């Protein structure tokens, strides 16, 4: 059997600019609409014989703007493509078909079985389309297929020789039958995003495949290609005051002025010792821009307020370079039974917030106001939970990291779960207000973030009883 297999080790860096032109956008004036709609990209995948002669071609149109990139689709998209054969000599072919499949699996299993069959009913998505078989008649007379009956019913009994082509259309659903956890009742869930990362316990993969059956005594020729799928989910709209600020390119108002635009956590103490002997007592409050659903490729606005009776403590600990605002990803898989837990979780810090002091009018000897922004990578997998597999995100604020300061404990000061999507909310897009030259600190470390157990989930806000 000949096949082509593309299996990246991480989720491909889908750029929202590569598919945003396909969304339903509001009407713009000619002056503002400076980008032309990008045409679909044609991806071609091939089967070759033992002499490396290419004879079967699977062509697929997708959203990315480069043919070398990973094919990407949105839920509800119609996958448009074609299959072409170029046979140098006569061949007996019994069937030509294409399929699109999706599956959650562990790393080892997905590499072993290559998603070749569904005998065990392992796929949450399994769309099959027969392009040709003998009962369809002359293979050159039925060049297009979308699931409807062929135009000819006269059975074809000849062999293939030369060139053949079939167009096809496969519609990706917006929902599939599944469950939030193994063993739960099946229900309709939104199509989850593609996820593959060599450091995590599971993968969620989609593939498109071409199968050419040549008879009982011959091995099927199979070509398969991994594809990306992104669910459509728009975040709730931003607060009115924040939208106005983004449109007018002015700094958005803080929590005191825009109560609808911020989630403010209660103030917590920061305790420890400085230089081995001097007690430290500082108080910290944390505010996060709402709604708590953010678009990858954009930013998360954050505000910290630090107060202390000692200006020396503030000088040491409230410096922007010493604050640790972290984006933490939790990847978990498995199930929970009544008397037994079978669940694997990994937590990791993916990014650090850039911090800078607010205007001098907001500062005082015993109070420091700090602005922060967390940049969300365009390659982040959107948040999801499906069939016991989950990718979740939290903003975690750790105690300041400063030479000579030892916190009384290393537990986070604040933890807030958030959702990440691939779509922008209606209205203006978030803008960054970080000063030029501002640099995020080194990625923070925490002993529990490298462990693979249920305690991780409590650390980042996903312990028992969450939601």
Q: Name beta bridge partners: 430.
A: none
- 16-66 pLDDT per residue, tens: 444 443 343 333 334 445 556 778 889 999 999 989 999 999 999 987 665
- 304-360 pLDDT per residue, tens: 999 999 999 999 999 999 999 999 999 988 764 333 445 678 899 999 999 999 998
Mean pLDDT of the chain: 83
CA 369, chain centre distance (Å): 33
pLDDT at 38: 77
Task: Tell me which residue has tokens 């509001």.
Answer: 26
In three-state secondary structure terms, 174 is coil
> 293, exposed or middle or buried, with CB in 10 Å at 0-12, 13-18, 19+?
middle
DSSP-assigned letters across all residues of 71-84: PEEETTPEEEEEEE
pLDDT at 437: 87
User: With 80 as the cut, is the pLDDT of residue 85 above it?
Assistant: yes
pLDDT at 354: 98
Overall average pLDDT of the 365-394 stretch:
95
Q: Taking the domain 16-230, which CATH number applies?
A: 2.60.40.640
235, 372, 378, 397 from 425: Cα distances, Å: 5, 21, 16, 26
Percentage of residues in the chain having pLDDT higher than 70: 77
In the numeric block, which tokens belong to residue 181? 């956890």
pTM for the model stands at 0.83
- Rounded distance, CA 109 to CA 398, Å? 37
Q: Are 220 and 99 contacting, i.e. CB atoms less than 8 angstroms apart?
A: no
pLDDT at 5: 33
339 or 123, which is more confident: 123
Query: What are the residue ranges of CATH 2.60.40.640 in the chain?
Result: 16-230, 240-459
Taking residue 314's Cβ as centre, other Cβ atoms within 10 Å add up to 20
pLDDT at 385: 92
User: With 70 as the cut, is the pLDDT of residue 268 above it?
Assistant: yes
Contacts of 124 (CB under 8 A, 6+ apart): 102, 103, 104, 176, 177, 178, 386, 387
User: With 90 as the cut, is the pLDDT of residue 262 above it?
Assistant: yes
Task: Tell me which residue has tokens 């602005």.
Answer: 371
Task: Tell me which residue has tokens 């937590």.
Answer: 347
User: With 60 as the cut, is the pLDDT of residue 114 above it?
Assistant: no
Q: Are 338 and 257 contacting, i.e. CB atoms less than 8 angstroms apart?
A: no
Question: What is the domain class of 240-459 according to CATH?
Answer: mainly beta
130, 176, 179, 180 from 186: Cα distances, Å: 28, 9, 5, 9
- Rounded distance, CA 303 to CA 189, Å? 35
Q: Please, which pLDDT band fits residue 187 given cuts at 50, 70 and 90? A: confident
């Amino acid at each position: 059997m000949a096949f082509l297999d593309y299996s990246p080790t991480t989720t491909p860096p889908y750029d929202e600019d590569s598919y945003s032109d396909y969304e339903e956008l509001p009407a713009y004036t000619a002056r503002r609409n400076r980008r032309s709609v990008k045409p679909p990209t044609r991806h071609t995948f091939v089967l070759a014989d033992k002499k490396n002669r290419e004879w079967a071609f699977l062509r697929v149109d997708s959203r990315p703007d480069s043919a070398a990139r990973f094919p990407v689709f949105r839920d509800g998209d119609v996958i448009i493509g074609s299959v072409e054969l170029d046979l140098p000599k006569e061949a007996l072919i019994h069937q030509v078909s294409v399929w699109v499949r999706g599956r959650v699996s562990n790393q080892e299993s997905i590499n072993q079985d290559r998603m070749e069959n569904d005998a065990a009913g392992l796929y949450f998505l399994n769309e099959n389309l027969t392009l040709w078989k003998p009962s369809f008649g002359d293979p050159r007379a039925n060049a297009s297929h979308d699931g409807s009956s062929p135009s000819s019913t006269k059975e074809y009994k000849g062999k293939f020789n030369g060139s053949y082509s079939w167009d096809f259309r496969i519609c990706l659903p917006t929902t599939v039958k599944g469950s939030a956890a193994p063993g739960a009742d099946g229900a309709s869930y939104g199509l989850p995003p593609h996820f593959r990362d060599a450091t995590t316990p599971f993968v969620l993969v989609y593939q498109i495949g071409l199968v050419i059956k040549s008879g009982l005594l011959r091995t099927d020729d199979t070509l398969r290609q991994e594809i990306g799928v992104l669910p459509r989910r728009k975040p709730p709209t931003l607060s009115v005051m924040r939208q106005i600020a983004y449109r007018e390119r002015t700094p958005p108002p803080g929590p005191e002025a825009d109560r609808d635009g911020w989630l403010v956590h209660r103030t917590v103490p920061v305790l420890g010792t400085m230089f081995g002997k001097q007690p430290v007592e500082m108080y910290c409050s944390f505010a996060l821009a709402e709604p708590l659903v953010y678009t990858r490729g954009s930013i998360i606005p954050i505000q910290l307020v630090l107060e202390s009776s000692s200006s020396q403590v503030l000088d040491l600990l409230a410096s922007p370079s010493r604050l640790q605002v972290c984006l933490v990803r939790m990847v978990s898989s498995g199930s929970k039974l009544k008397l037994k837990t079978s669940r694997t979780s990994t937590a990791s810090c993916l990014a650090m917030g850039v911090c800078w002091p607010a205007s001098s009018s907001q500062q005082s000897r015993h109070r420091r106001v700090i602005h922060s922004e967390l940049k969300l990578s365009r390659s982040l997998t959107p948040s999801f939970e499906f069939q016991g597999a989950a990718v979740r995100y939290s903003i975690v604020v750790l105690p300041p990291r400063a030479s000579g300061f030892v916190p009384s404990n290393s537990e986070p000061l604040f933890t807030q779960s958030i959702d990440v999507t691939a779509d922008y909310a209606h209205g203006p897009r978030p803008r960054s207000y970080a000063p030029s030259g501002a640099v995020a600190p080194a990625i923070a470390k925490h002993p529990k973030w490298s462990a693979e157990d249920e305690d991780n989930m409590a650390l980042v806000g996903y312990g028992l009883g969450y939601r």
